[in-house]
Amino acid sequence: MEDKQKTRCGWVNQDELYLRYHDEEWGVPVRHDGKLFEFLILEGAQAGLSWYTILKKRENYRTAFEGFDFERIATYGETDVQRLLNDPGIVRNRLKVTAAIENARAALRVRDEFGSLQDYFWGFVDNQPIINHWTSLSEVPAQTELAVRLSRDLRKRGFRFVGPTICYSFLQATGMVMDHVTSCFRYEDLHTKAST
């Protein structure tokens, strides 16, 4: 059972799933193409919804989208779109489903050009996490100039559901930007690891 008494960022609730996500994943640098693609799709699926809603559906997404294997997803056609739209375990929004497929195709093009999604995404932060030192949740921005730049570049490359706010959430989730507030128990550990 998770320690619910630890000081955490103010956005996390007391659900075990959410606590584990905050404590073990959020803000930890992700340097794996499949995992980066997973976060990109899940952050896009979140548009207009809460992250908690998507987190509860995450395992269903992993099954429905074959482990977020973007090579496989890139081959999806209308039969797959219908299968996904009929799946009650995910957000059944045609625009979001077709965007995931288009994003898989765009991810293949990015991988071909840059060698990997990791090299492409981490290039935006010079391969080093940006460590912020927010003292309260109210200081954490919804987007930044970096997120705007990433969003523009992704759209230019054919990605969808990648607005600046989604991109900033993606950067936070994957540890390219570390936004745990300074009072959160995860801040010091991630700050120390990023500095070494």
| Interval 153-167: pLDDT, tens | 999 999 999 999 999
Delineate the domains of the chain, giving CATH numbers in brackets.
Answer: 25-195 (1.10.340.30)
**11 is annotated as an active-site residue:** no
**38 is annotated as an active-site residue:** no
**51 is annotated as an active-site residue:** yes
The pLDDT, as a whole number, for residue 193 is 76
**SS3 letters across the chain:** CCCCCCCCCCCCCCCHHHHHHHHHHCCCCCCCHHHHHHHHHHHHHHCCCCHHHHHHHHHHHHHHCHHHCHHHHCCCCHHHHHHHHCCCCCCCCHHHHHHHHHHHHHHHHHHHHHCCHHHHHHHCCCCCCEECCCCCHHHCCCCCHHHHHHHHHHHHCCCCCCCHHHHHHHHHHCCCEECCCCCCHHHHHHHHHHHC
This prediction has a pTM of 0.95
Name the percent of the chain lying above pLDDT 90.
Answer: 93
The pLDDT, as a whole number, for residue 191 is 84
Binding-site entries? 9, 22, 180, 184
Residue in 18, 43, 76, 122 annotated catalytic = 43
The pLDDT, as a whole number, for residue 1 is 43
The pLDDT, as a whole number, for residue 140 is 97
Residue in 11, 21, 52, 102 annotated catalytic = 21
Mean pLDDT on 30-53: 96
Mean pLDDT on 75-90: 98
Binding-site entries for Zn(2+)? 9, 22, 180, 184
Residue in 18, 26, 51, 61 annotated catalytic = 51
The pLDDT, as a whole number, for residue 195 is 67
The pLDDT, as a whole number, for residue 189 is 87
The pLDDT, as a whole number, for residue 196 is 61
The residue ranking higher by pLDDT, 41 or 192, is: 41
